């Protein structure tokens, strides 16, 4: 393993490579191989990008054909054949079956950029400044989206005040639940409360980076109602939990919700090819002037080609029913390991193939992630101080590799917790 070039030339900002100190050379579906030939099972999947695995064969073939035919790889937002094919397929596979008539807005290819565009549009539509975001939410790193992100570590790097966001407690956090929404409603009804209605509420159905906190249908419906009763927009950030992760295309499917804007990125490009897109209700979309939220990389040819291929997984329920079944296996496995350590009060949370166990302590979680890495499993902690072990393998992971990864994981949890018990005995 030779890391000299990285250590000599790459910025101090580098992060994940410090947790996984090796140099990866190739990857296939749920496995990554380093340059020394060591194989790792991937329970991290590019932080939720690689829903369909590394080097997905169908997407690779489609992209090779596209390149060999001299397809248009970059076109700003000009009309191209791969973009048309993606739009048609998305409408046919995702929007029309749900009776959604949202417009597709492309922007620079990051989740953060999708959130920026949504915030801008909500402010434009309503003429208001403030947006409600929730404790433990994660919405990106650029200044507008960072203002909505709750985590202190990231906020502290902003260098300027992060303004125009009202922070409310997420449903499952202290002070959260329906009562806090009612309290805010009462403030908005009181002309002398000092509160004016916000431009929007932005929420994750499952807070992924925030610790895999899962909101209920009832609470989300109440957030939406509060927004709509005050002519504010209801924005769902489905950047990490969308694109099939929970066992359905959107994390909010079946919840009887009607978001004004849905943010998508990460898994949308299928192959790890970057793309971001907002789904915007037409009555809001008409407030944009041409090119008002521009960006050089609004939809790359390769991302459209691979992303279109990814949508074919949603033509029937085959993959999604597998996701629900594998997700249940993951949850059962985590419950079993939590049951072995009743005194530690480990909480298991998740839906579909985003599952997590809260070990209540960032240092313990870090030790578990290291133990997993040493035994050939890539896994990333999340939540406050990194205390939550989040399992997000590719949705296409074979059964035997899922079992192998879960076994490595529970052995690591056992080893670290038993050592910790010995130390504190």
- Least distance between ligand PLP and beta carbon 83 (Å): 20
User: What residue number has its CB nearest to ligand PLP?
Assistant: 111
Q: Does 249 bind ligand PLP (CB under 6 A)?
A: no
How many amino acids of this chain bind ligand PLP (CB under 6 A)? 15
Strand order in the sheet with 24-28: 24-28, 31-34, 39-42, 377-378
- Least distance between ligand PLP and beta carbon 204 (Å): 5
Closer of 50 and 265 to ligand PLP (Cβ): 265
- Least distance between ligand PLP and beta carbon 265 (Å): 5
Q: Does 277 bind ligand PLP (CB under 6 A)?
A: no
Q: Does 148 bind ligand PLP (CB under 6 A)?
A: no
User: How far apart are alpha carbons 155 and 153 in whole angstroms?
Assistant: 6
- Least distance between ligand PLP and beta carbon 55 (Å): 20
Closer of 112 and 278 to ligand PLP (Cβ): 112
Q: Does 242 bind ligand PLP (CB under 6 A)?
A: no
Closer of 266 and 333 to ligand PLP (Cβ): 266
Q: At 187, phi and psi to the nearest 5?
A: -65, -40
Query: Which strand (E) or helix (H) includes residue 13?
Result: none
Q: Does 303 bind ligand PLP (CB under 6 A)?
A: no
- Least distance between ligand PLP and beta carbon 90 (Å): 19
Q: Which of residues 98-117 bind ligand PLP (CB under 6 A)?
A: 110-112, 115
Token pair recorded at residue 75? 């076109």
**CA distance between the termini of the chain:** 39
Q: Does 143 bind ligand PLP (CB under 6 A)?
A: no
- Least distance between ligand PLP and beta carbon 130 (Å): 19
Q: Does 246 bind ligand PLP (CB under 6 A)?
A: no
Q: Does 138 bind ligand PLP (CB under 6 A)?
A: yes
Strand order in the sheet with 388-391: 347-351, 354-358, 388-391, 380-382
| Position among 53, 140, 244, 352 found at the interface with ligand PLP (CB under 6 A) | 140
Number of H helices, E strands in the chain: 15, 17
CB 139 within 8 A of CB 238: no
User: How far apart are alpha carbons 131 and 147 in whole angstroms?
Assistant: 9
Which residues contact residue 323 at a Cβ distance below 8 angstroms, ignoring those fewer than 6 apart?
244, 245, 246, 247, 352, 353, 395
- Least distance between ligand PLP and beta carbon 261 (Å): 13
Q: Among the candidate windows 98-106, 203-211, 226-234, 341-349, which touches ligand PLP by CB under 6 A?
A: 203-211
CB 170 within 8 A of CB 135: yes
- Least distance between ligand PLP and beta carbon 78 (Å): 24
Sign of CA dihedral 324, 326, 329, 335: negative
CB 237 within 8 A of CB 202: yes
Closer of 302 and 412 to ligand PLP (Cβ): 302
- Least distance between ligand PLP and beta carbon 412 (Å): 24
- In order of 38, 202, 242, 348, the CA distances from 116 in angstroms are 40, 11, 18, 32
Q: Which of residues 25-54 bind ligand PLP (CB under 6 A)?
A: 47
Q: Among the candidate windows 153-161, 225-233, 237-245, 248-256, which touches ligand PLP by CB under 6 A?
A: 237-245
Nearest alpha carbon to residue 76 among 394, 294, 261: 294
Q: Does 259 bind ligand PLP (CB under 6 A)?
A: no
| Position among 42, 116, 204, 371 found at the interface with ligand PLP (CB under 6 A) | 204
Q: At 364, phi and psi to the nearest 5?
A: -65, -40
Largest CA distance in the chain: 67
3-state helix, strand, coil in the chain (%, to 5): 45, 15, 40
Q: Does 314 bind ligand PLP (CB under 6 A)?
A: no
Residues that bind ligand PLP (CB under 6 A): 47, 110-112, 115, 138-140, 204, 208-209, 237, 239-240, 265
């Amino acid at each position: 393993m030779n890391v000299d070039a990285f250590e000599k030339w790459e910025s101090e900002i580098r992060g994940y490579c410090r947790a996984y100190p090796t140099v990866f050379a190739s990857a296939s579906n749920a496995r990554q191989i380093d340059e020394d030939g060591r194989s790792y099972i991937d329970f991290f999947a590019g932080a939720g990008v690689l829903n369909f695995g590394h080097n997905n064969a169908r997407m690779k073939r489609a992209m090779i054909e596209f390149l060999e035919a001299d397809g248009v790889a970059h076109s700003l937002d000009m009309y191209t054949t791969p973009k048309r094919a993606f739009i048609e397929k998305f409408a046919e596979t995702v929007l029309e079956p749900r009776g959604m008539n949202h417009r597709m807005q492309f922007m620079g290819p990051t989740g953060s950029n999708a959130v920026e565009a949504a915030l801008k549009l909500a402010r434009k539509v309503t003429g208001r400044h403030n947006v409600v975001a929730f404790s433990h939410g994660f919405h990106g790193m650029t200044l507008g989206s960072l203002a909505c992100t709750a985590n202190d570590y990231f906020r502290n790097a902003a260098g300027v005040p992060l303004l125009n966001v009202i922070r409310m407690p997420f449903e499952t956090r202290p002070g959260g639940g329906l009562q806090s929404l009612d309290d805010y409603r009462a403030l908005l009804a009181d002309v002398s409360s000092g509160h004016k209605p916000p431009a929007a509420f932005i929420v994750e159905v499952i807070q992924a980076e925030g610790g895999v906190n899962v909101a209920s249908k009832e609470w989300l419906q109440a957030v939406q109602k509060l927004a709509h009763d005050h002519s504010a927009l209801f924005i769902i950030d489905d950047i990490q939990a969308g694109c099939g992760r929970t066992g359905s295309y959107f994390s909010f499917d079946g919840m009887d919700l009607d978001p004004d804007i849905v943010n998508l990125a990460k898994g949308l490009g299928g192959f790890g090819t970057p793309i971001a897109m907002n789904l915007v209700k037409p009555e809001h979309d008409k407030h944009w002037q041409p090119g008002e939220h521009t960006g050089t990389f609004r939809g790359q040819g390769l991302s459209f080609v691979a992303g279109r291929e990814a949508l074919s997984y949603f033509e029937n329920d085959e993959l999604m029913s597998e996701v629900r079944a594998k997700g249940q296996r993951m949850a059962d496995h985590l419950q079993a390991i939590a049951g072995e350590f009743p005194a530690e009060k480990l909480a298991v949370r998740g839906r579909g193939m985003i599952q997590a166990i809260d070990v209540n302590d960032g240092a313990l979680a870090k030790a578990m992630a290291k133990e997993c890495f040493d035994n050939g499993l890539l896994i990333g902690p999340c939540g406050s101080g990194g205390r939550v072990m989040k399992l997000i393998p590719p949705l296409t992971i074979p059964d035997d590799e899922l079992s192998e990864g879960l076994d490595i994981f529970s052995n690591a949890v056992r080893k670290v917790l038993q050592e910790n018990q010995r130390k504190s005995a």
